[in-house]
Amino acid sequence: MPEMPPILAEDRRVANIHTGTFEPLVSENGQPDGEVLQVNGGRKGHGFHVYRMQAGATTVAHEHVGNEEFLLIEGDLVDHDGTRYVPGDLVWLRSGTTHNSYSENGCVLAVYLPDSRAAG
């Protein structure tokens, strides 16, 4: 394999889910809606990011434009229809799905959600 140059500092961002700074996520209607840790520099809560909910939190009901995919890393999560997710569950929700979720004990998710505004 040919020798490759090192990756430049400006071409790499690293954040740790245990020590990184999560930022508040605010829904489109202005309500607090969990916290995110993301390094892609894109629209907060879109693209690939880590999403955290505190114990007893419920997300704002929302509809996705684009498929939502997430991996429950730790904690518990229940969708509005009673579907329960446990750590290790990898979930796909079709574009246009409307839902909200609740976490009794808090949770951490790795999420991919396309930014519908970036497609234009």
Q: For the chain, what are the domain ranges?
A: 50-120
- Please count the other Cβ atoms lying within 10 Å of the Cβ belonging to residue 107: 26
Q: Which residues are within 8 A (CB) of 105 and not within 5 positions of it... i.e. 6 or more apart?
A: 55, 75, 76
Over pLDDT 90: what percentage of the chain?
Answer: 75
Q: Which residues are within 8 A (CB) of 108 and not within 5 positions of it... i.e. 6 or more apart?
A: 17, 50, 51, 52, 72, 73, 74, 75
Residues 19-43 have pLDDT tens digits of 999 999 998 888 889 999 999 988 8
Mean pLDDT of 63-76: 94
Question: Two tokens at 15?
Answer: 């954040």
Give CATH superfamily name and number for 50-120: Jelly Rolls (2.60.120.10)
- Whether residue 60 has pLDDT greater than 60: yes
